[in-house]
Amino acid sequence: MTRQEYMEELKKYLKRLPQEDFDNAIEYFSEYFEEAGPEKEQQVMRELGEPKEAARELFLNLLQESVEKDQDIVEEKAPVLKGKRRSPGKIILLVFLVLCASPVSLALLAFVFAVLCAVILTVAAVIFSIGITGIAAIAGGIVTIGVGLSLILKSAAAACMMVGGGFLMTGIGILAGLLTVYICKWCANGIGRLVNRLVRKKVHKNE
């Protein structure tokens, strides 16, 4: 296999990555070959393994980099994009890419997918409920503040109570929104860590 054939096949496995990660990964592998030189292309391909293996290692490293607090705990075999923060949605995408590229049995793959879907649906329902509560609290707080301000000429005490209650409701709504974001990140990171450890253990066992 030539370098060009290797890169073309590798691109097929990496094309589901977000565009920025895809471009950075292709740039990394291209520079890797350039630094080695034409005479060491075959050696580089042996080090990286088959294109599917190189892609899998890349997915694993990107996933681990996304969920680990220590950004330096990564494999050296594939590129890592240090310093990047990924949204929960992109972490879940990496989870599915890792599972699809991993040497796991169909039964185990189906089981993991089923569990992930159940967890994601459950968490989505909880997040939706908290989010709606937060929006309602913010809207109610704003309305209450407006009503309180309209009463300021009639009763200062009532106006202060209404405005204070409005700010309290608005604050609760904002906290609910922040909690929603935190839960999304926590769940995505938890799923990412679980899948990362499961797949790495399976890969090392096969090796």
Would you mind telling me the total number of residues written for the chain in this entry? 207
- How far is Cα 176 from Cα 134, in angstroms, rounded to an integer? 5
Chain segment 16-38, per-residue pLDDT in tens:
888 888 888 888 888 888 888 88
Contact 144, 190 (CB under 8 A): no
* Sequence ranges of the domains in the chain: 3-86, 108-194
Contact 187, 119 (CB under 8 A): yes
Q: Is the pLDDT of residue 90 over 80?
A: no
Kindly write down the DSSP assignment for every residue of 174-202, as one continuous string. Answer: HHHHHHHHHHHHHHHHHHHHHHHHHHHHH
The residue-averaged pLDDT of 60-79 equals 57
Q: Which pLDDT score, from 0 to 100, does residue 198 have?
A: 65
Q: Is 130 exposed, middle or buried (0-12, 13-18, 19+ CB in 10 A)?
A: middle
- How far is Cα 79 from Cα 109, in angstroms, rounded to an integer? 25
DSSP-assigned letter for residue 102: S
Q: Is the pLDDT of residue 140 over 50?
A: yes
Q: Is the pLDDT of residue 87 over 70?
A: no
Helices 51-67 and 19-36, axial angle in degrees (round to 10): 120
- How far is Cα 182 from Cα 176, in angstroms, rounded to an integer? 10
Helices 156-206 and 106-150, axial angle in degrees (round to 10): 170
Q: Is the pLDDT of residue 76 over 80?
A: no
Helices 3-14 and 41-48, axial angle in degrees (round to 10): 30
The residue-averaged pLDDT of 104-122 equals 68
Contact 104, 98 (CB under 8 A): no
